[in-house]
Chain A
């Protein structure tokens, strides 16, 4: 394991260096703690809560990417640039094979103090509408969105697509975008990750030479989260889409998730639904579900949820076996050998993810924005005991906390 070094610059920007020897490229990631769930917030400049339409953080991501000239910058330097909005953060990323200091300088200085013209706002509004239409045709995205809506209620920020809806994007106004920008895009709230074959001391010299200084008036903000609906949808959500056979997403929710609980969740899902488990292999062999059956765990702020998804050939058969399996685990638990295999799967993915710098950087950012340390995953996973998995299944995988989405082929409509 490599040692991460973290510093804070005079302007408040937190910088972390993660050395990865032998790589030709370096990934620079700027993390802004503003995501799609941050619909209501208050800054020092205002006394009232600001309520914003869905999709504002994502809209802002588009504007900052364009207005900063990130694309022009990378074109002139042979690097790659991308931006991404998640539920709880926005990231801007540069992957470069040379001129690291030049890119670093751009990222540190280029994302703040921007202005957005009306023409740019309107152009990006059009592009975002296209993007929304595009993702509305992806049944994996739809199934997740419909699942969160059934699980948390339609008013919850998790239930609305990160990009918003056609209607909400129409409602977004320039002053709302600017307000969010001036609140969250301040160095003291942002974080820079540098991953690659780099010398932290050289990078620090570059950062110091940029003459970054504290902003004149420090800003702070608070975020108001709507709570999850206690009356989740009881019956499964049913949709008809162009799928060859029925597709299912089933999952559970949890709240006030801690780092340890998140690790327990990942190990539990790998232990119960990993490709090495007899349940999954028997399910594939006996056609309760298809090869693409998989599990997924996500956590955004205090909200965590685990889902399983895939094609099923016959819903009744699937539920029959699935419910018996969960019941059996609830009563008898899992064996020590099964738990060890589940942990090994989590560990193997952890190492694979660290080999691809962009994914490594994204994981690190996603963990840091929650106040977690990606490097602590393995030691925490190693300590998980059978009783924790058993208790996790008992408390989460029951009708009170679960919801399902069933997608049928169009001809079944």
Chain B
């Protein structure tokens, strides 16, 4: 999916020739110390940032150079480390907006004057998505009135609603209580079961161990190690990067 990606900020190489692949239905954990370049990588895939070198592919289509909304319509969905929700819209409206906007065909002229009502099929899909993240009870509350944990779930639901090809989740569990984190793990697994690839950036290693098929460790912009969680964590280089010494 990602080939030889490099990004430089000023003199700092945030990403230095990173190769990474997420196959459909696979959950890949992306871990590494702060400043390793994890969010930078996600921003390059999502289109929020342009890489200096390297390519980004999705199902054989080149994504790099495309605007973020184009990538979203091709099937890239993401959440943000600092949440980016729309406070005045309700949870249901979030999902509705995402569902409509993500259609590859784009906006129809009639949607300038329609009543913004979901069709029966769309309404079913919205309801199903609300149920998956457990937000039915809060579906009609403006998101600005919800606590942080619920906002994270709204972001995930918003990312999922159009059945994306790949989900990029940037520290989705930060700010979640244990029960919400449990919902998150279930949701992430259910996403993968529907053939969507997941790239999960996480500091919560227990969650990574629980849900990820494969783990990639990033440090100072380079892939340090990758493989099964236990193997990777046993790698002395990874322990040095994380703990400063070998355990």
Please determine whether chains A and B interact with each other in the same assembly: no
**Residues on A facing B (Cβ under 8 Å):** none
